[in-house]
Structure 1
Amino acid sequence: MEFFVYFLLGGMLFLGTAYVLIKLSEFVFGIVSLFLKVFLFGADAVFPEESATPDPPSVSGQQTPGHDYLSPPISLETCQGPPLD
């Protein structure tokens, strides 16, 4: 009976260790591949949203579509909604 318990505990330890090593290798592979992509293709190709800068307003005073440069910033009062009772 003792052998069976030790066998189960050893198997669980082995499988747990294998699982942790597999997950660790996936994490390291993901980090390395991310750095390689950034190094080879540049940050703009890997993260296009973060590196994109908005278009400046045109010289004639017209606003660029999608960018409201002349509106005031949103205050906290506008974001909070109605008061809670």
Structure 2
Amino acid sequence: MPADWPAGRLTGAVARPGIVVDVEWDAGHALVAARLSADRPTTIAVRWGTASVYIELAGDPVWVSADGDGRLVVLPGSAILE
């Protein structure tokens, strides 16, 4: 996030290849939560700051958050690839 953007939320952004992204961040630009969905099965890399995780989107939305150390956490019920 640009430094001059305060805490905020973005909804309905579309990233390639057809990934719909809803994301919320705090005043320190830490990830609060992100919801990702796709209209077809696909594997994507999610990056926030220096953290990243690969997830598989296949119908149901996937929720990603950050832990206290800035690592990305895929919430239960979501598909994660090691």
- Looking at both structures, which has the greater relative contact order when contacts are Cα pairs under 8 Å and sequence separation is at least 6? 2
- Report the TM-score, using the length of structure 1 for normalisation: 0.21
Q: Select the structure of larger CA radius of gyration.
A: 1
More helix by share: 1
Query: TM-score when scaled to structure 2?
Result: 0.21
